[in-house]
Amino acid sequence: MSSDPSREVDWDALRAEATAAMRRAYAPYSGFPVGAAALTTDGRLISGCNIENAAYGVTLCAECSLVSALVMGGGGRLAAFTCVNADGEVIAPCGRCRQLLWEHGGPDLLVETAWAGVVPMTQVLPGGFGPDDLVAVETSRKKLEQP
């Protein structure tokens, strides 16, 4: 990749895919359809939409359905991500979804934001917690158990 990886991503196409996904959203309770799209590190384009439920707590965000598509499509890593509202405007992923994006894209995942353009995941979720942190916790635990 070049020194500015965001230049290699067709953000217009990514937003168009997110907008198409948003049109498939099931949002009868909030009236707030959301679509998400991402480019994987191996070049696949995946998308997702929010799927609400009368039991609000089990509603799936667009990012959840996108990550499900990633895993069901063979896995991999997210390289670039965007999500949009009903007007096709870029919106921020919620806190829960920021953690999902970190898990499947890591600190270098490029995220399109409304407030700062394209930024790495480290600016969307500063101090993110991921699999490497679990290894560090296990290592610390083993040190404490030693006589």
End-to-end CA distance of the chain: 48
Q: What is the bridge-based pairing of β-strands 117-120 and 110-113?
A: antiparallel
Q: Is the pLDDT of residue 2 over 70?
A: no
The CATH number of the structural domain formed by 5-145 is 3.40.140.10
Q: Is the pLDDT of residue 4 over 80?
A: no
Please compute the mean of the pLDDT values over residues 107-130 and round it to a whole number.
94
Binding residues for Zn(2+): 61, 94, 97
Based on the residue annotation, tell me whether 138 is a catalytic residue of this protein: no
3-state secondary structure of 58: helix
Question: Whole-prediction pTM value?
Answer: 0.87
Q: Which helix (H) or strand (E) holds 19?
A: helix 11-22
Binding residues for substrate: 50-56
Q: What is the pLDDT of residue 143?
A: 72
Work out the pLDDT band at 102, boundaries 50, 70, 90: very high
Binding residues: 50-56, 61, 94, 97
If we measure between CA atoms, which residue out of 122, 132, 118 comes closest to residue 15?
A: 118
Catalytic residue among 63, 89, 103, 145: 63
Q: Which parts of 3-143 are beta strand (E)? A: 35-40, 45-49, 78-84, 110-113, 117-120
What is the C-alpha separation between 85 and 89, in angstroms, rounded? 6
Whether 90 contacts 116, CB under 8 Å: no
Q: What is the pLDDT of residue 42?
A: 94
Q: What is the pLDDT of residue 3?
A: 45
- pLDDT tens across 60-92, in order? 999 999 999 999 999 999 999 999 999 999 999
Please compute the mean of the pLDDT values over residues 112-131 and round it to a whole number.
93
Q: What is the pLDDT of residue 5?
A: 52
